[in-house]
Amino acid sequence: MNKWALLTAAILTEVVATLSLRASQDHPGWYAVVAVGYVMSFVLVMRVLRAGIPIGVTYGIWGACGTALIAVSAAMIFGDPFTWPIVVGIGFIVLGVILVEFGLHAAEGDQKAAVAGPSA
């Protein structure tokens, strides 16, 4: 399976588990979905890491997308607040993930240049 599809599945299962955690406050039957969702999410993240996506990128994208999706979904499903400061905070999270990704690529470029040696 494609590593990005695995990461997407990990994010979605974590979001379902977290939303189910909120739902379980009113209906304890949701605890089963919470447990299965979190276990599935962690297993999928483990597979993403084995597929070769670095931990900083994996966790950053997983966390950022999960946070954004949960905030939007909780507002729609449970009527949780969704204010401008929340939107700005999500924007900062996304910006942070982008910076981590750029930092990773810069480090990979530096490593390749070091391996290649000085140019003549």
pLDDT at position 67, please? Answer: 92
The half-sphere exposure of 73 on its side-chain side, counting CA atoms within 13 A, is: 16
Question: Which residue do the tokens 């900062």 mark?
Answer: 92
Q: Could you count the other beta carbons within 10 Å of the beta carbon of residue 99? A: 11
- Give the H/E segment covering residue 23: helix 3-23
State the Cα torsion 11-17-18-20 to the nearest 10°: 140
pLDDT digits (tens, 9 = 90+) for 86-97: 999 999 988 888
State the pTM of this model: 0.81
Three-state DSSP at 107 gives: helix
pLDDT at position 60, please? Answer: 86
Can you list the residues of the chain whose pLDDT is less than 50? none
